[in-house]
Amino acid sequence: MKIYEQTELDFKDVLVKPKRSFINSRSEVDIIREYKFKWCPRKISGTGIITSNMATVGTFEIAKHMMQNKMFCCLHKHYPVEELIKFITENDCRDYVFLSMGLRDEDYEKIEKILTEYPDKCRNICIDVPNAYVPRVKELVVKMRNKFPDILLMVGNAVTAELVEDLILSGADIVKCGIGSGSACITRRITGVGRPQLSTIFECADTAHGIGGAICSDGGVVYIGDICKAFGAGADFVMMGGFYAGCEEAAGDIIEKTFQTNQIDPETGKPILEIKKFKVFYGMSSEYAQNKHYHGMPKYRASEGRVVEVPLKGSIDKMNQDILGGLRSYMTYIGARRLKDVSKCTTFYRVNTQLNTVFGE
Ligand code: 5GP
């Protein structure tokens, strides 16, 4: 038995030190970064915020909105190939959309068809396996890189330096990092496996950058400040699912629920009722997802995700405006003129309390 004694950190365990800055206004900072990659020869300009390849936020509709802001969307892997082809031929997806694949042969055939038959459309691929420590992931990375040397290849998920290094040296441009931190994830509850997200980013980014690779922090964003902390810790991309799940454009019906308030209607003498709106959001390894997208849950698997009803938050464009506004403000506080400089300009305080919760969070 071994134990690492040092306490690992999550977003909530730190705040960021403000620094003297020569930036007078948020409008002076540049949130668009030019990304260069280890293997993919293409350069991309964007703000490294990306929606997860989950069924409600990794959608065509969400992708269109993300692209408008030079942000990214990782499409979920359950679209039929014809629909993917229609989307990538009708929209300019070259830079901002990733196509997902798992380890199944059907996934490979689908991606191979698109890369071969539509070579100038979308060449950003995400190999997504909750546990990238299994050997077949690395084998697939090698196969993809050999067959399609020019693709932008993201692979995950990992949380340790060894695997990040291994995947990058095998052909990955970006390693997706995070295990157990997702809002719809119950992996930590049912397996005890996982690593706090901030420490994951520190270690994985340091390793990746040392060998010319990049990382995408995946999961665990609760507040916009967490996106800033993720970039501050060294993430090149920050992926989010639950954060976007409540936007109007996310897939899924809106559910209306009636709640009794503690105010009394003076005319009727009865409690005033309030209607609240929600969207259903579910983990991609949940039993719900297995039933919806596959043929039910195999006997050897346990559900590693859950189903939640997320309060409706408003339009995705407004959310993106808030995110980018928060990021600009962060850069002004720490004196970072360019997104690329954010991690160099970030110093964290370890804290016991992050927020004043007198009036709720
Ligand atoms: P969030 O932004 O919601 O905190 O995290 C999103 C991430 O959670 C996804 O990108 C994915 O890596 C992870 N995730 C999505 N569904 C599941 C699931 O069912 N189980 C687990 N363990 N992780 C999930």
Q: What confidence score (pLDDT) does residue 54 get?
A: 97
Q: What is the pTM of this model?
A: 0.96
Closest ligand 1 atom to 303 CA: 19
Q: What confidence score (pLDDT) does residue 38 get?
A: 98
Of 157, 185, 292, which is best to mutate to test ligand 1, by the most ligand atoms within 8 angstroms of its C-beta?
185
User: Residues lining ligand 1, CB < 6 A?
Assistant: 52, 54, 130, 157, 182-185, 187, 218-221, 239-243, 283-286, 304-305
Q: Which residues are catalytic?
A: 185, 187
Q: What confidence score (pLDDT) does residue 360 get?
A: 82
Q: What confidence score (pLDDT) does residue 361 get?
A: 74
pLDDT by residue (tens digit) across 195-214?
Answer: 999 999 999 999 999 999 99
Q: What confidence score (pLDDT) does residue 247 get?
A: 97
Q: What confidence score (pLDDT) does residue 299 get?
A: 82
For the beta sheet containing 271-282, the strands, ordered from the edge strand earlier in sequence to the opposite edge, are 254-264, 271-282, 307-311
Q: What confidence score (pLDDT) does residue 234 get?
A: 98
Q: What confidence score (pLDDT) does residue 195 get?
A: 98
Q: 127: part of which helix (H) or strand (E)?
A: strand 124-128
Closest ligand 1 atom to 53 CA: 10
Secondary structure (3-state) at 17: coil
Name, in order, each residue with C-beta under 8 angstroms of 140's C-beta and a sequence gap of 6 or more.
103, 108, 127
Which segments of the chain have a pLDDT < 70? none
| Cα 146 to middle of ligand 1, angstroms | 29
Q: Is the dihedral of CA 246, 189, 129, 224 positive or negative?
A: positive
| Cα 98 to middle of ligand 1, angstroms | 17
Name, in order, each residue with C-beta under 8 angstroms of 338's C-beta and a sequence gap of 6 or more.
29, 30, 33
